[in-house]
Amino acid sequence: MSHLLHIDSSIRGEQSVSRRLTARAVAAWRAAHPGGTVTHRDLGKHPLPHLDEAGGLARMVPAEQHTPEQRASWELTEQLVAEVKRADTVLLGLPLYNYGAPSSVKAWVDHLIAAGLSYDPATGAGLLGDRDFIVLASRGGGYGAGTPREGWDHAEPWLPHGISQTGLEPRFIAAELTLAPVVPAMAKLVPLHEESLASAERAIDELWVPASAAA
């Protein structure tokens, strides 16, 4: 049975564009996979603990030497890796905050980098690469070639590197200028935002073909 891991990370609730995009993608996935199942992890509402001194060393200490804090941290990592392993497709909503990924996404990635769980320490081979990883990005401004802030988006360039040890390879669909409808100084950019959003929605709709349409 097909299984989708749906991850949101926006803190903006119903105002979130990335949540709007992931919801659309989940609906499209369900239509294409009748009987499929979905696991939803909401990093925006329930952020993961960052790796700290008490628990973070669990990845560098043999399990039999774990302190209670390290054991708890390692067990959470096992849970998060297992969620990915159960999925055929991983769907991540990735808003851009202060020109980078939300810290909750960084914490998720840090937990996934675990020897013996997500990569083979002997060979370095990733153990999570046999699944689709789709990232739906939203950006308040515009960061493309020729824009005043070209290169200021540090989330999309970082994620493939941050997750590379696991074998996961993200495919990005992005909507830009999402602040244009609510920031008066960006009002003239609303048409460009609408064009970007519509393009992202079309790309999402083309990700999976419903079984009925393929018949």
Per-residue pLDDT band for 154 (boundaries 50, 70, 90) equals very high
Q: What is the pLDDT of residue 149?
A: 94
Structural domains in the chain, sorted by start = 3-214 (3.40.50.360)
pTM summary value: 0.94
Instruction: Report, as an integer, the average pLDDT of 188-211.
Output: 93
Question: pLDDT tens-digit profile of 107-125?
Answer: 999 999 999 999 999 999 9
Q: What is the pLDDT of residue 1?
A: 78
Q: How far is CA 193 from CA 5, 19, 43, 140, 145, in A?
A: 28, 16, 26, 9, 16
